[in-house]
Structure formats: structure tokens, C-alpha cells
């Protein structure tokens, strides 16, 4: 019974991110049919391609790490080199469980809100840059508050996933994803400014990147 309790938060994280990335694949297929081209799963510029060489395996490894933590007992995972890190995060196991439950709620909420952001993007949704196309500037809904709500939510989801499944593999892959999101957000901003000029520059100066400017001192 204790084993099931310990594995519950990692299971929620694994399911949430599996739904997240499963729907990304569905969106790629659906949108690709609507616009008559791949929505840049493989970007049309070299830096984006090079980033994906690290990014896509990292995402796969993160999902694998979460499912391992959800299915395999912590003691056995430690013997396999998985490195369950509850001990140094929250020495009392019940303290970790409380934090993990709160993180589970936030993880699910973040996943739901991401679907809202995807819907708001509409036909402008992409997962990479194509310098040859000009996408509409979406600045309403969640994008009225932050420039990259999807990335901001994913960073929150990844942090929650680590709190729910604190293993070395999840820590490493979630950390890499966090760094790559920072890089990609700035690259997308340069691309959008090159396409929309002063309009985007004004938007960028009035809306925070990941956090609403209201909350930034």
C-alpha cells in the first residue's frame, strides 16, 4: 500500500506529460493537413534543427523517467541508478507527499491551461521557426499577460514533475528542457520582431516574457 502511495504523484506527472506530448503530435498532424505543410517540427533553420537533436531525445527521456518513477518502487529504482532524491529534499516522507500532492494539482492545472493557449494560437501554432513564413501576432487572451505562456506553463509543469518524481533522470531532463525553452523563447522573439517590426517591439516592451510585468519589480 505504501508503495502505491509513493508512486501516485509520479503517475500523475507521467500521465499529464504524456497527454501533453501526445496532443502535440495530434496537433502536428491536424494542423499540417490544414495549412498544407509540417508546422515546423523540424525547423527550417540550422540552429533550430541542432537544438532539436538534443531536445527531442530529452523529452522522450523525461517521459521515460516519469513512467519509471511511476511504475518501479523507489528502492528498486535506486538500485537501477534512478536515484530517488526524496531523502535530501524532504527527510520526512510524509512532508514530500504533501508537497507532491500540491505539485500534482498544479501540474494538472498547468496542462489544462496549456490546451487553452494552444487553442488561442489557432493556425499560428508552431513548434519551430521557418524564416520564410510570417505568422500572425497573437496578443490576446493569455498572450496579453505574457509573451510565452506555453513555455512558462511548461517550466512550471516540469518543476512540478520533478517535485512529484524526484529522480536524477527527471532532474536532468527537466533542467535541459528549461534551458532550451529560455533559448527558444529569445530566438522566437527575434524572429517575430523581424517579421512585425515596431508592432512586435511595442508588444514585447509592454508584456513580460514568462511573468506578467505586474509581478516584476
CA distances from 14 to 69, 75, 134, 192, 217 (A): 9, 19, 35, 33, 35
pLDDT for the residue 3: 47
Distance CA 185, CA 47 (A): 13
Query: According to the model, what pLDDT value does residue 71 have?
Result: 87
- Tens digit of each residue's pLDDT, the chain (217 residues): 344 577 889 999 999 999 999 999 999 999 999 999 999 999 999 999 999 999 999 999 999 999 988 888 766 766 555 555 554 454 556 777 888 899 999 999 999 999 999 999 999 999 999 999 999 999 999 999 999 999 999 999 999 999 999 888 899 999 999 999 999 999 999 999 999 999 999 999 999 999 998 876 5
pLDDT of 2 reads: 45
Give the count of beta carbons closer than 10 Å to the beta carbon of residue 214.
7
Model-level pTM?
0.91
pLDDT computed for residue 4 by the predictor: 58
Host domain of residue 21: 2-215
Q: What is the pLDDT of residue 98?
A: 87
**What pLDDT does 40 receive?**
95
What is the pLDDT, as a whole number, of residue 217? 54
pLDDT of residue 171: 92
pLDDT attached to residue 1? 39
pLDDT given for residue 214 in this prediction = 82
The number of distinct structural domains making up the chain is: 1
End-to-end CA distance of the chain: 47
Which CATH number characterizes residue 130's domain?
1.20.120.1630
Contact 45, 129 (CB under 8 A): yes
Inter-residue contact 118 to 150 (CB < 8 Å): yes
In degrees, rounded to 5, the angle at the alpha carbon of residue 10 between the alpha carbons of residues 7 and 12 is 110
Angstrom distance (rounded) from CA 24 to CA 82: 27
Amino acid at each position: 500500500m505504501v508503495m502505491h502511495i509513493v508512486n501516485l504523484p509520479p503517475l500523475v506527472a507521467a500521465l499529464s506529460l504524456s497527454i501533453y506530448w501526445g496532443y502535440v503530435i495530434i496537433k502536428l498532424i491536424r494542423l499540417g493537413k490544414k495549412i498544407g505543410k509540417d508546422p515546423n517540427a523540424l525547423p527550417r533553420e540550422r540552429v533550430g534543427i541542432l537544438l532539436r537533436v538534443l531536445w527531442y531525445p530529452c523529452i522522450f527521456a523525461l517521459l521515460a523517467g516519469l513512467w519509471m518513477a511511476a511504475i518501479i518502487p523507489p528502492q528498486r529504482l535506486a538500485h537501477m541508478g534512478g536515484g530517488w532524491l526524496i531523502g535530501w529534499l524532504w527527510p520526512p516522507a510524509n512532508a514530500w507527499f504533501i508537497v507532491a500532492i500540491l505539485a500534482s494539482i498544479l501540474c494538472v492545472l498547468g496542462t489544462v491551461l496549456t490546451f487553452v493557449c494552444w487553442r488561442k494560437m489557432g493556425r499560428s501554432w508552431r513548434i519551430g521557426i521557418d524564416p520564410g513564413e510570417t505568422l500572425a501576432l497573437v496578443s490576446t487572451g493569455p498572450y496579453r499577460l505574457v509573451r510565452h505562456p506555453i513555455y512558462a506553463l511548461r517550466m512550471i509543469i516540469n518543476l512540478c514533475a520533478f517535485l512529484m518524481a524526484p529522480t536524477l533522470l527527471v532532474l536532468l531532463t527537466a533542467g535541459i528542457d528549461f534551458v532550451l525553452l529560455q533559448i527558444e523563447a529569445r530566438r522566437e522573439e527575434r524572429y517575430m520582431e523581424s517579421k512585425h517590426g515596431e508592432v512586435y517591439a511595442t508588444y514585447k516592451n509592454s508584456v513580460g516574457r514568462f511573468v506578467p510585468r505586474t509581478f516584476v519589480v
